[in-house]
Amino acid sequence: MPEFALSAKEAHQIRADAVVVFCCKGDRHPAGLPASALRTSLARAMKEDQFTGKEGECLLWHAPDGMPASRYLVVGLGPADEFDLESVRRALASATRKLQSTARHMATALPAVGRRLNSAARIGAAVEGVCLGGHRWTAWISKTTKARLAKVTMLASSTAAHRTAVEQGRIYSAATILARDLTSEAPSTMTPQAMEREARRVARETGLKLTVLDEARMKKMGMGCLLGVSRGSKEPARLLHLVYKPRRQRGTTPKRVALVGKGVTFDSGGLSLKPSPSMEIMKSDMAGSAAVLGAMSALKALDCPVEVHGIMAMVENMPSGTAYKPGDILKSMSGRTVEVLNTDAEGRLVLADALEYARRLKPDCIVDLATLTGAVVVALGTLCTGVMGYDQKLVDELLAAARTTGEKFWPLPLIKEYRKLLDSKVADIKHIGSRWGGSLTAGHFLGEFAGRDIPWVHLDIAGPSFAEQDQPLARVGGTGHPVRTLLSWLHPGS
Ligand code: BES
Ligand code: MN
Ligand code: ZN
């Protein structure tokens, strides 16, 4: 991540290896640039190159000797009437990708359209655009061209609010990038025990308390569903529990939140084996737990006022002679028995016990994050999280937080009539319903274990947590979705 600075200079005055300015669709010259030789030159270059200003379009202009910078980059923002914080993120991401291998010091104007959006919010978004757009997962690539980019100067005055915005952008991005890298890591490397090591590192570095439950402990506690899923694997399961406590504030007891992440480090489907193409990205089936760890890693730096419990349920779902089977009946920690019909519907079983564990902490609310169903990807596509829950207020809070971060959330209904699709003839409940509405029956199943007394929301992140193609803010691999939304919800206006 580059170093960030603020400067009150203007784009035509600042010295840097490259200076970035912005332009809406149809504009004849970059916005916010005073009439100057630079503006005239850029306007001519734009005309000659037929630059249109559509989102992500870039025009690089090499300046003659004597200018404060040798290169100026014009980046398209798209139509002015669609301008928002996401345009800022994407524009800075495009600029960073264009310049990061050749410029050590990039200076950038702050994208603006009229007086819309306050400058601190735009600065935070710009920092995210640089960090997230520039990020690449290179752990296994032998010869990489290292990013040269070391410093980014934002052309805005150095007020306290602006400095805080830079800091928040950096913290949000670092947390997201941690979740990305964990999700992208190869599945034979990123095992439940590897996640335990990562959680230990985060705990040490940010002063969180970590409790690790091994299989013996979980057996004692009666986590028969989680352990049932894990039985086919050689990798021992783990339940990881991190606790962040805010600084004491006199006379107040902080709100207590539990985040519960599905951490299936590889989902082969088990004996109900997935076809090969569906298995290709199943290293990402721990993205929920990665998002939990990413979010936990940022709370201290954000000085978050809420007490947060991060629970990561880590298992591998494999077929073998010891694997659990369709027809098995598992006993959950809550005491209820579950009829298993398809070993590929493993996430909800793992979460059933993790949710019961969370309940016993008596939090004020529970949010679970899980790459739970293919059906949510059919319904909402690859970019959008499905939000479910019985508590409309909590659902609305998360939807509102997502609107500020640009991560896409959409509500799905837990239609009452569908609950009975989980009625079992041989156990207390079965774990799958019919083919239709698969995300909703999965949501109902989780809801049975989350209970009605503690407000609970389920985020099905199967689509947006992994990018199969490069995106404006994320390259192929884990995306770190929805870490920024969680942080914004936990500490709004931080
Ligand atoms: N991990 C998958 C869901 C998934 C699918 C995540 C695609 C990301 C992309 C989950 O464990 C699963 O296999 N769900 C089954 C449930 C079915 C057997 C009821 C599914 O969606 O097919
Ligand atoms: Mn599965
Ligand atoms: Zn799964």
**Beta carbons within 10 angstroms of residue 290's beta carbon:** 30
Q: Specify if 483 maps to a domain.
A: yes
User: Residue length, the chain?
Assistant: 494
Helix, strand, coil share of the chain (percent; to 5): 40, 20, 40
Question: Are residue 207 and residue 151 in the same domain, yes or no?
Answer: no
Task: Give me the CATH number covering residue 70.
Answer: 3.40.220.10
Q: Indicate whether 143 and 218 sit together in one domain.
A: no
What's the pLDDT score for residue 494? 58
Q: How far is the CA of 344 from the centre of ligand 1 (A)?
A: 7
* Residue in 283, 300, 348, 430 annotated catalytic: 348
DSSP 273: P
* Number of domains observed in the structure of the chain: 2
In a domain, 55, yes or no: yes
Cα(266)–Cα(273) distance, rounded to whole angstroms? Answer: 12
User: Using N-to-C axis directions, what is the helix angle for 192-206 and 287-302, rounded to 10°?
Assistant: 10
Residue given tokens 């990061």 in the structure block: 100
Distance 394 CA to ligand 2 centre (A): 27
Residues 446 and 378 in one domain: yes
Give which of 132, 95, 109 is closest to 34, Cα–Cα.
Answer: 109
Q: Which ligand is nearest to the CA of 268?
A: 2
DSSP state of 419: G
Three-state DSSP class for residue 220: helix
Ligand nearest 440 Cα, by number? 1
Say whether both 438 and 386 belong to one domain: yes
Are 178 and 139 contained in the same domain? no
Phi and psi at residue 344, to the nearest 5°: -85, -10
Q: How far is the CA of 100 from the centre of ligand 3 (A)?
A: 36
In a domain? residue 163: no
The candidate with the shortest Cα–Cα distance to 146, out of 96, 102, 93, is 102
Best of 226, 316, 373 for a ligand 1 pocket test (most atoms within 8 Å of beta carbon): 373
Q: What is the rounded CA–CA span in Å between residue 356 and residue 350? A: 10
DSSP, collapsed to helix, strand or coil, labels residue 171 as: helix
**Is 166 part of any domain?**
no
Choose which residue among 226, 344, 376 to substitute to test ligand 1 binding: the one with the highest number of ligand atoms within 8 A of its C-beta. 344
What's the CATH number where 262 sits?
Answer: 3.40.630.10
Residues 6+ away with beta carbon under 8 Å from 220: none
Q: How far apart are CA 483 and CA 92, in angstroms?
A: 20
Task: Quote the pTM value.
Answer: 0.98
| Integer Cα distance of 121 and 307 in angstroms | 25
Domain interval for residue 313: 172-490
Atom of ligand 1 nearest to the CA of 346: 11
Ligand 1: centre distance to CA 410 (Å): 19
Distance CA 446, CA 258 (A): 15
Do 96 and 8 belong to one domain? yes
How high is the pLDDT of residue 249? Answer: 82
Q: What are the pocket residues of ligand 1 if the criterion is a CB atom closer than 6 Å to any ligand atom? A: 267, 285, 342, 344-347, 371-375, 377, 432, 438, 462
Residue 348 is among the residues annotated as catalytic for this protein: yes
231 is catalytic: no
243 and 151 assigned to the same domain: no
Q: What are the phi and psi torsion angles at 176 (to 5°)?
A: -65, -40
Six token digits for residue 276: 């090969």
Instruction: Tell me: do 95 and 151 sit in the same domain.
Output: yes
Mean pLDDT by 10 residues, the chain (494 residues): 96 96 95 90 97 96 95 97 97 98 97 89 98 97 87 98 98 98 98 99 98 98 98 98 92 93 99 98 99 99 98 99 98 98 98 99 98 98 98 98 97 98 98 96 98 98 98 98 98 77
In a domain, 165, yes or no: no
Q: What is the DSSP secondary-structure string of 345-401? A: --HHHHHHHHHHHHHTT--SEEEEEE---HHHHHHH-TTEEEEE-S-HHHHHHHHHH
Ligand positioned closest to the Cα atom of 432 = 1
Instruction: Select which of 54, 148, 274, 336 is catalytic.
Output: 274
Residue 287 and residue 194: Cα distance in Å, rounded?
14
> What is the atom index within ligand 1 of the atom nearest the CA of 269?
13
For ligand 1, atom 8, the nearest C-alpha belongs to 462
Regarding whether 141 and 180 lie in a shared domain, the answer is: no
Both 12 and 146 in a single domain? yes
Whether residue 227 lies inside any domain: the answer is yes
Helix, strand, or coil here: 274? coil
pLDDT of residue 270: 98
Q: How far is the CA of 25 from the centre of ligand 1 (A)?
A: 41
Name which residue sits closest to atom 14 of ligand 1, judged by CA. Answer: 373
346 with 446, same domain? yes
Question: Quick check: helix, strand or coil at residue 221?
Answer: helix
Pairwise CA distance, residues 486 & 308, whole Å: 11
